[in-house]
Amino acid sequence: MNLQPNAIPRLAIVVPCYNESEVFPFCLTTLGSYLNGLIQKKLVQPDSYIMFVDDGSKDDTWQQISAAAKQNPYVRGLKLSCNKGHQSALLAGLANATQADAIVSIDADLQDDIEAIGKMVQSYLAGYEVVYGVRASRQTDTAFKRMTAELFYRMMTVMGVKQVFNHADFRLLSQRACAALLEYHERNVYIRGLVPLVGFPATEVHYDRKERTAGVSKYPLRKMIALAMEGITSMTVTPLRLIAFSGMGVGLVSMLAMAVVLACWVAGYYAPGWGLVIIAIFFATGMQMLCLGIVGEYIGKIYLETKQRPLYHIEEKDGFTPHNSSTIP
């Protein structure tokens, strides 16, 4: 790969926040001093900044963000009008990370190792435009989350979706890669499936994921399943194809069964076997309903895409002006 080194970037760190009142003070001070360290080391420009996106929190997260943006020149706050979900909040942050040369996205609970940000910037300076944060281990996740996540990644790979294993939404994008990502005008967003489609020189940075410092996960099983469904249906039509194949398979089996029944009839052997018939009816009905459900899921997605509804609305902005070019004291 022929890499062209990049100049020292103005870095924007985008942090989506939903009901993160407990975590926010820790997140602000930790990220703030880390960013300051990067500036001291001359890895990023002095006018780099952190942008917190409040995803319609019900607690005082926005009040805290807004106060921090008024006090600190390196903090910007963006408030969405209501809760739109992590993916939309992240997109809102990326779209509003103006004048930044490189943008890092990270979760507010800082479970992802912030030291990896420095390594991402080093990779950017070397010429990479997409740097994926990859979890070296998932020891802090529950066995259930580990297992389901692994199963999901494998399933996506089998279905032909290019995705970086053990990478969530902790990554660095160059301004060019970010602009390219924003050109995907999809309602049905699964960012970690879209980024590999953008292209540009890409690399990985490995880190160990920590426990949440405070508060509880904002990704309960319900949201995890919704994200997985979004991921599958937005990235691949393989499930629809599988339905057709399984239909052919069932068709073949039924032909085989017909041959057996015919042979038994010719041989004069008659078995009542009504239990079997009932099981077969229920099984076939269940399969049909499942297949219809999958088809329905895709039709639903087409319906939502055709509406082209906006993904989010911005209610308030703080810290964007007038001190957005000053340095960290």
Q: Which spans of this chain sit near ligand UDP (rule: CB under 6 A)?
A: 16-18, 20, 55, 83, 85-86, 89, 107-109, 111, 217-219
Q: For residue 240, what are its two tokens? A: 């629809």
Least Å from the CB of residue 125 to Mg ion: 28
Q: Give the one entry of ligand UDP, Mg ion, none that residue 190 binds, where binding means its C-beta sits below a cut-off of 5 to 8 angstroms depending on kind.
A: none
Q: Give the one entry of Mg ion, ligand UDP, none that residue 73 binds, where binding means its C-beta sits below a cut-off of 5 to 8 angstroms depending on kind.
A: none
Q: What's the CA angle centered on 88, arms 84 and 89, to 5 degrees?
A: 85
Task: Classify residue 185 as exposed, middle or buried by CB count within 10 Å of its CB (0-12, 13-18, 19+).
Answer: exposed
Indicate the residue among 122 and 211 with the shorter CB distance to ligand UDP.
211
Least Å from the CB of residue 50 to ligand UDP: 13
Least Å from the CB of residue 253 to ligand UDP: 41
The residue with its CB nearest to ligand UDP is 217
DSSP states along 151-195: HHHHHHHHTT----TTEEEEEEEEHHHHHHHHT---SS--HHHHH
Q: Give the one entry of Mg ion, ligand UDP, none that residue 108 binds, where binding means its C-beta sits below a cut-off of 5 to 8 angstroms depending on kind.
A: ligand UDP
Give contact residues for Mg ion (rule: CB under 5 A): 107, 109, 111
Least Å from the CB of residue 133 to ligand UDP: 13
Residue with tokens 């309960």: 220
- End-to-end Cα spacing for the chain: 39
Q: Give the one entry of ligand UDP, Mg ion, none that residue 18 binds, where binding means its C-beta sits below a cut-off of 5 to 8 angstroms depending on kind.
A: ligand UDP
Per-residue CA distances from 236 to 121, 162, 190, 307, 311 (Å): 32, 10, 12, 21, 21
Least Å from the CB of residue 138 to Mg ion: 12
Indicate the residue among 138 and 323 with the shorter CB distance to Mg ion.
138
Indicate the residue among 55 and 318 with the shorter CB distance to ligand UDP.
55
Least Å from the CB of residue 217 to Mg ion: 6
Per-residue CA distances from 28 to 22, 23, 68, 75, 267 (Å): 11, 9, 8, 9, 81
Task: Please write down the HEC assignment for all residues of 50-92.
Answer: EEEEECCCCCCHHHHHHHHHHHCCCEEEEEECCCCCHHHHHHH
